[in-house]
Structure 1
Amino acid sequence: MTRLLPYGSWPSPISAGLIVEHAVSIGEVAVGTDDVWWSELRPQEGGRVAVVRHRPGGEQLDVLPEGWSARTRVHEYGGGAWWLHDDALFFANWADQRLYRLDGHGSPRPLTPEPPRPGADRYADGRVTVDGRFVVCVRERHRDGAEPVNELVALDAHDGGEPAVLVSGPDFVSFPRLSPDGRRLCWTQWNHPDMPWDATELWVAELEERSGSLALAGARPVAGGPGESIFQPEWVADGSLLFASDRNDWWNLYRLPAAHLDATTDSGSPPEAEAVVVVDGDIGVPQWVFGLSRYAPLADGRLLVACARDGVDHLLVAEQTAGGWVTHPLDTPFTAISAVHAFGEGAVLVGASFTVEPSVVVASIPAGGGSIDVAHLRPPRRLGVDERWFSVPEPVTFPTADGEQAHALLYRPTNLEVRAPDGERPPLVVISHGGPTAAARPQLNLTIQYWTSRGLAVADVNYRGSSGYGRRYREALAGRWGIADVEDCTAVASFLAARGDVAADRLAIRGSSAGGFTTLCALAFHDVFDAGASLYGVSDLEALARDTHKFESRYLDRLVGPYPAARDRYVERSPIHHADRIGCPVIVFQGLEDEIVPPDQAEVLVAALRAKGLPVAYLAFEGEQHGFRRAETIERVLEAELYFYGRVLGFDLADPVEPVEIENL
């Protein structure tokens, strides 16, 4: 018989300790000669990124020695920090950002020179030539008094040395990919003020060896340009080039035959690409990090494709027939898919669902569609919790303030042992995701389950500007950041309260990074929420425009307006200038080594709220950057946020947690 307890006061086996215990975040996947490698970010090891190798027969081992971490700071968000050639591992080490090579079980040895200061030269997104002689990768060079320079470089894969510059001039470069015959290199590039999901170009050049290093000849654009985003170019064995493009609103898949690429050498005009996979769904995702892979050419010539549609990832297989390309849906147990690569006769990928954490699996792909068979290489963590404890999200489409539509995932309170008294409505936590060009991911999120199992409802909002709904939906935030996203977060709270799903007088909103900005704007400019939590959130748009890192230094041109020409708009939308309008309790979490949103943004905001006499709590963490990675930090933040909600929304916690000092309460 279930007990009756008020919402928020339910006991739960999903503790903060359980969430971080043996927790890992699976990153990229690579395929070796006959084995599979992947990376794991491990909070229990201080946020170290380990590289794991799974050999035939099931042997699994950590490749990097203790103390080494494969993590790069290019663009500050990183990704693409390691790659393979046969059994050799190439990786950027977190501590000094130099590029290293590791053969077998020996010690890593540096390939790149020691820069003037640690981290001044950073490397990412590399590949090794077919003959194993050279590495081609992205380098980001930092020198005092100048904007960092992003280039494609080449260096000796065995002896290293000062890299030779292959591509210089564009503000940003990514996806350097070598053709199977070693003749060509492709890459994407873009310039300020665009972000890679706004406008990118795909370039191709011939590779030549000169004076013991590599050089390029005949470099030319073959796709992309203003209003078009190119994502993940991949060569095929026949010399053709695949890429995802959102030229028709959705990131769909296109192909440039080898003959067309040859023709551009003479004509100088971009070739026509043939459409391969055309669906109302996004194959591409915003390129916040390097090393992303959403599709793969299989050994038999078919293409395996992950595609986001209606907030859920689907798996498709495309095959070429006499009448053109035909696409078939595949049945999978997954709702979120990443790191798709060919392996043997099938593929390897990372898959997750609403009730299962991400795992690395090998998949066999049936002809003509149908159900895939999967074998786990890196199974999901055993939580020891019945899946029935997990709240399964309900897609919600709701009207916006200006008559459009936005989307969210609604998680209802779920508990196997207790329920709330009849007629009571649960508190609601609205999540405004970061980016803002990111998305509420359709996979098991234990932080959300931490709240729902205790009797809180959660709305994870895909406000206008989120990815996974096509380019037009992403661009709906252009010029309206701090307005449209905020309206959507307030609208979903009002919508669910009016529908009777949640308590209208116990509404909270929380967000991290750009989502923290949306959260603070919602508190400053709307009177809907009763509490707010900002995790390393933006409070001062001017400071962000002036002081942030290169990758995002012109991001706000499109989201807000060019700075300083549009300074009045920046001031008007910055919560720091309107803290007097915030009328509810706020808790702020901040990493003290954050270079994307520096700590002073949080500290100035907290001081303003403190001076106003508003209930406020501030927790700052030494050694944390933009995004918390240490187990002890993650655990403390979870418990502190729950404690805060309990105090200000009026419910008692079932389990004791370390109290948080809430000033002015």
Structure 2
Amino acid sequence: MANTKIAPYGSWKSPVTTDLIVGETIRFGLTDLDGDDIYWIEGRPSENGRNVVVRRSPDGTLTDLVPQTFNARTRVHEYGGGDYVVSDGTLYFSNFADQRLYRVTPGSEPVAMTPAINRRYADMVVDRRRQRLICVCEDHTNVEREAVNMLVSVPLNGDANDGLQILQAGNDFYAAPRLSPDGSQLSWLTWNHPNMPWDGCELWMADLGEHGFVDSARRVAGGVEESIFQPSWSPDGVLYFVSDRTNWWNLYRVVDMQVEAVCPMQAEFGTPHWVFGQSTYSFVSADQIICWYGGPAGSSLAYLDTRSGTLTPISLPFTSVAGLRANAQYAFFLAASATSTGAIVRLNIATGQLDVLRRAQSAVVDTSYISDAQLIEFPTEHGLTAYANYYPPKNADFTAPEGELPPLLVISHGGPTSSASSTLKLNTQFWTSRGFAVVDVNYGGSSGYGRAYRDRLKGQWGVVDVDDCVNAAKYLVERGLVDGNRLTIQGGSAGGYTTLCALTFRDTFKAGASHFGVSDLNVFVHDTHKFESHYLYGLIGPYPEKKDLYFERSAINYTDQLSCPVIFFQGLEDKIVPPSQAEMMVDALRAKKVPVAYLPFEGEQHGFRRAENIKRSLEAELYFYSKVFHFDLAEPIEPVEIENL
């Protein structure tokens, strides 16, 4: 175009600023329905990452239900979720600072329901018939042993006296307690070390007597190699759930204690159970479910006829749906698309009309600066295929000098069972609008492609994920799309581990960024929280039997092989990947005289929630690459101290 300026990749001035990314931006969380009101969580970076429960009334009025001094966020499993529940207008929630349960009646301040002892609560359901909450409890009162997880009940009128009753205990983990519509039965999920819930867990159901104790408990599905997700009771009292027993997470139900498939197909109706309260389907009626499913061919929202198993897709301008809740009139969900960030959306069941009730971000970026995700399939080791979303550089105001190829930023997502979505992420557009190409890799182990694809990572973490990230980069280099001499990789948490392994054990990348990444598996296996304390048994091997393998897959032990610049970002209150994991690597690179930068953040846990820290980490990473690859920045950025450069 005639008005475009010529400037090197990386030097383009972009309207996708860090102020835009963090300004007036909210993270949507757990949704709920209560009568005609709908509820959701807003995580607000501008309020130090505080979680607020918001109610939307039928007239459109939005009301914050959690006062400024409270933060609706549980730490069960550290990742939380299932932070609150609403019934008959009363809110029950877990408060982050003290992890106690609180009750909020309309017009009143929060009242503590549980004592000030070291217990955490999540995934609540209201048992109105017996005037109690049923929830997951994680007991940390005995510091000499591992936390104890159990299903418990707490009186609705609790006044901080310890009225807790234990309903189920003895296994390592519990989740998803759900009551039948008449309150006569309870279902739940449970599993034990070394499994994670997406490896294998069990679905149980039991009768509840008038006093609410469990009777005649029986396992109805699941096991050590079958993953169950989101058990839910239909309005007519049938227990439904999602299982991956046929490789794909499909819908099933229990009829006369027999399990029957509802809609078998090669698609995923579930997702890894990292947080409580996830919902990929909901009941419009006993005969109709609204559900979200996806796979390599794409995703869809659909109505499912529970009698015939027929799926009827619903046309949507969105590519991602989560937090589905429905009744006979409406469905509500969190949605995003390739051109819009998250939103709370309402679907009129009768008319099909869609209304956006709340957006995560008020600012809108002109599409001439938005790079669309291109799904790529590329060859990887052992003759297999892997997947990624590729984003070419795009900025309406700039073009690069003739013959120049862009630097590539490879993103290795966390989890490692998560997946890279094609929905709009301004953090990605921050890079592409400045002249970087980005490839967000769904390496083997990612969800969304069936159990066999997830299982590629079994015993192979630090190998398969690294292979796929390397091969994604090589695929783009071979097609002449990116500069093979300016390949970078970054990731957070598990993605940070993949990043450090790729930088240490391969010579493909010229720089990288680790966001709270794991560097020493031997330390991590001893120095993390209960939920993930045996996770590596499946990803690496049993410990200490495979101790040598833990050593071989840890970047900290092979820093002699790492010779390219790395920048580290770390929350100093991170209980999942403690600061020592970053600091050991920084010290090793400093001693080796390799260019290194380290940005620790006070008050941050696992993943940054404060606006100023999100802004600083993005700008610091760009500054770091500008110095490593010698390009000028379009605008000044607060410098970062880079040692040995």
1:87 and 2:89 are equivalent in the alignment: yes
For 2:120, the equivalent position in structure 1 comes to 122
For 2:240, the equivalent position in structure 1 comes to 242
- 8 Å contact from structure 2 (residues 234, 286) kept in 1: no
- 8 Å contact from structure 1 (residues 413, 455) kept in 2: yes
Which secondary structure does the structure 1 equivalent of 2:210 belong to? strand
Counterpart residue type for residue 185 of structure 1: L
Unaligned stretches of 5+ residues in structure 1? 261-270
- 8 Å contact from structure 2 (residues 283, 327) kept in 1: no
Pick aligned residue for 1:21 from 17, 20, 23: 23
Pick aligned residue for 1:343 from 317, 321, 327: 327
For 1:278, the equivalent position in structure 2 comes to 264
Counterpart residue type for residue 340 of structure 2: V
Cα deviation, residue 424, structure 1:
1.4
Cα deviation, residue 604, structure 1:
0.9
Cα deviation, residue 300, structure 1:
6.4
For 1:484, the equivalent position in structure 2 comes to 464
Pick aligned residue for 1:111 from 103, 113, 118: 113
Cα deviation, residue 385, structure 1:
2.1
Percent sequence identity over matched residues? Answer: 50
Question: How far apart, in 2, do the equivalents of 1:105 and 1:579 lie?
Answer: 59
Cα deviation, residue 132, structure 1:
6.6
For 2:296, the equivalent position in structure 1 comes to 310
For 2:153, the equivalent position in structure 1 comes to 154
Cα deviation, residue 376, structure 1:
1.6
Cα deviation, residue 344, structure 1:
4.2
- 8 Å contact from structure 2 (residues 320, 336) kept in 1: yes
For 1:43, the equivalent position in structure 2 comes to 45
- 8 Å contact from structure 1 (residues 482, 518) kept in 2: yes
Counterpart residue type for residue 325 of structure 1: G
RMSD: 1.2
- 8 Å contact from structure 2 (residues 153, 164) kept in 1: yes
Cα deviation, residue 380, structure 1:
4.3
Which secondary structure does the structure 1 equivalent of 2:82 belong to? coil
For 1:509, the equivalent position in structure 2 comes to 489
For 2:100, the equivalent position in structure 1 comes to 98
- 8 Å contact from structure 2 (residues 4, 399) kept in 1: yes
For 1:356, the equivalent position in structure 2 comes to 340
Question: How far apart, in 1, do the equivalents of 2:130 and 2:58 lie?
Answer: 23
Change (3 A) 1:311 1:454: farther
For 1:413, the equivalent position in structure 2 comes to 393
Counterpart residue type for residue 518 of structure 2: V
For 1:218, the equivalent position in structure 2 comes to 216
- Give TM-score scaled by structure 2 length: 0.98
Cα deviation, residue 441, structure 1:
1.9
Which secondary structure does the structure 1 equivalent of 2:452 belong to? helix
Cα deviation, residue 421, structure 1:
2.0
1:574 and 2:566 are equivalent in the alignment: no
Moved over 3 A (4+): none
- 8 Å contact from structure 2 (residues 207, 217) kept in 1: yes
- 8 Å contact from structure 1 (residues 299, 346) kept in 2: no
Question: How far apart, in 2, do the equivalents of 1:302 and 1:79 lie?
Answer: 27
Cα deviation, residue 550, structure 1:
0.4
For 1:207, the equivalent position in structure 2 comes to 208
Cα deviation, residue 402, structure 1:
2.2
Counterpart residue type for residue 146 of structure 1: R
Question: How far apart, in 1, do the equivalents of 2:502 and 2:629 lie?
Answer: 17
- 8 Å contact from structure 2 (residues 250, 269) kept in 1: yes
Which secondary structure does the structure 1 equivalent of 2:164 belong to? strand
For 2:524, the equivalent position in structure 1 comes to 544
Question: How far apart, in 1, do the equivalents of 2:18 and 2:359 lie?
Answer: 21
1:196 and 2:197 are equivalent in the alignment: yes
- 8 Å contact from structure 1 (residues 312, 442) kept in 2: no
Counterpart residue type for residue 193 of structure 1: P
For 1:136, the equivalent position in structure 2 comes to 134
Counterpart residue type for residue 144 of structure 1: V
| Corresponding residue pairs, total | 640
Question: How far apart, in 1, do the equivalents of 2:604 and 2:349 lie?
Answer: 42
Q: Which residues in structure 2 correspond to 1:170-569 (within 5 Å)? A: 170-210=171-211, 214-257=212-255, 260=256, 271-299=257-285, 301-310=287-296, 312-321=298-307, 324-365=308-349, 372-569=352-549
Counterpart residue type for residue 216 of structure 2: G
Question: How far apart, in 1, do the equivalents of 2:260 and 2:311 lie?
Answer: 14
- 8 Å contact from structure 1 (residues 129, 178) kept in 2: yes
Which secondary structure does the structure 2 equivalent of 1:313 belong to? strand
Counterpart residue type for residue 102 of structure 2: Y
Question: How far apart, in 2, do the equivalents of 1:37 and 1:69 lie?
Answer: 15
Cα deviation, residue 373, structure 1:
2.4
Which secondary structure does the structure 1 equivalent of 2:285 belong to? coil
Question: How far apart, in 2, do the equivalents of 1:451 and 1:162 lie?
Answer: 53
For 2:166, the equivalent position in structure 1 comes to 165
Cα deviation, residue 355, structure 1:
1.0
